[in-house]
Amino acid sequence: MTPSIRLGSSRSSKAARALAALAFLALAQLPGGPADAQTRIKDIASFEGVRENYLVGYGLVVGLNGTGDSLDSAVFTRESLIGMLERLGVNARDDNLDTQNVAAVMVTASLPPFARQGSTIDVKISTLADSTDLTGGTLLVTPMLGADGEVYAVAQGPVAVGGFSAGGGAETVRRGVPTNGRISGGAIVEREIAFQLADLQQMKLALRNPDFTTSQRVADVINARFGAGAAAALDPGTIELVIPPSLQGDIVALMTEVEQLPVEPDQVARVVVDEESGIIVMGEKVRISTVAIAQGNLTIRVSEAPQVSQPTPFSSTGTTTTVPRTEIGIEDGAGRQLAVLSPGVSLEDLVNALNTLGVGPRDMISILQAIKAAGALQADIEVI
| Higher pLDDT among residues 365 and 126, named by residue | 126
pLDDT digits (tens, 9 = 90+) for 200-236: 778 899 999 999 999 999 999 999 999 888 999 999 9
User: What pLDDT was estimated at residue 357?
Assistant: 64
Which residues neighbour 234 within 8 Å (Cβ) at sequence distance 6 or greater? 204, 240
- pLDDT at position 238 over 90: yes
pLDDT band at 92 (very low <50, low <70, confident <90, very high): confident
* Distance, CA of 224 to CA of 275 (rounded, Å): 45
Total residues found in the chain within this entry = 384
**Cβ(294)–Cβ(358) below 8 Å:** no
- pLDDT at position 4 over 60: no
First to last CA, the chain: 79
User: What pLDDT was estimated at residue 190?
Assistant: 95
pLDDT digits (tens, 9 = 90+) for 140-151: 999 999 999 999
- pLDDT at position 20 over 70: no
Residue 154, CB half-sphere, CA atoms under 13 Å: how many?
6
User: What pLDDT was estimated at residue 99?
Assistant: 86
Highest mean pLDDT, choosing among 192-206, 283-297, 299-313, 351-365 = 192-206
pLDDT band at 28 (very low <50, low <70, confident <90, very high): very low
Mean pLDDT for the chain?
A: 78
Give me the phi and psi of 323, to 5 degrees please: -100, 120
pLDDT digits (tens, 9 = 90+) for 361-384: 777 777 778 878 877 777 888 877
- With b for 16 or more beta-carbon neighbours within 10 A and e for fewer, the 304-337 pattern comes to eeeeeeeeeeeeeeeeeeeeeeeeeeeeeeeeee
* Distance, CA of 266 to CA of 285 (rounded, Å): 9
* Distance, CA of 94 to CA of 92 (rounded, Å): 6
Average pLDDT in the 341-353 region? 62
- pLDDT at position 116 over 70: yes
- pLDDT at position 275 over 70: yes
Bridge partners, 301 (sequence order):
329
CATH code of the domain occupying 197-263: 3.30.70
Residue 315, CB half-sphere, CA atoms under 13 Å: how many?
8
Given its phi and psi angles, is residue 229 left (phi above 0), alpha (psi -120 to 50 degrees) or beta? left
Burial class for 109, CB neighbours closer than 10 Å (0-12, 13-18, 19+): buried
pTM of the shown model = 0.64
- pLDDT at position 348 over 90: no
User: What pLDDT was estimated at residue 305?
Assistant: 65
* Distance, CA of 146 to CA of 143 (rounded, Å): 10
Give me the percent of the chain exceeding a pLDDT of 90.
34
Highest mean pLDDT, choosing among 97-111, 267-281, 319-333 = 97-111
Query: How far, in whole angstroms, is CA 196 from its chain's centroid?
Result: 32
Highest mean pLDDT, choosing among 19-23, 137-141, 166-170, 366-370 = 137-141
* Distance, CA of 318 to CA of 326 (rounded, Å): 24
| Higher pLDDT among residues 271 and 11, named by residue | 271
User: What pLDDT was estimated at residue 10?
Assistant: 44
Q: 6-10, 15-19, 324-328: which has the minimum mean pLDDT?
A: 6-10
Residue 318, CB half-sphere, CA atoms under 13 Å: how many?
12
* Distance, CA of 64 to CA of 138 (rounded, Å): 8
The ranges assigned to domains in the chain are 53-164+175-189, 197-263, 271-307+321-383
pLDDT band at 105 (very low <50, low <70, confident <90, very high): very high
Q: Where are the alpha helices (DSSP H) in 164-297?
A: 212-226, 251-260
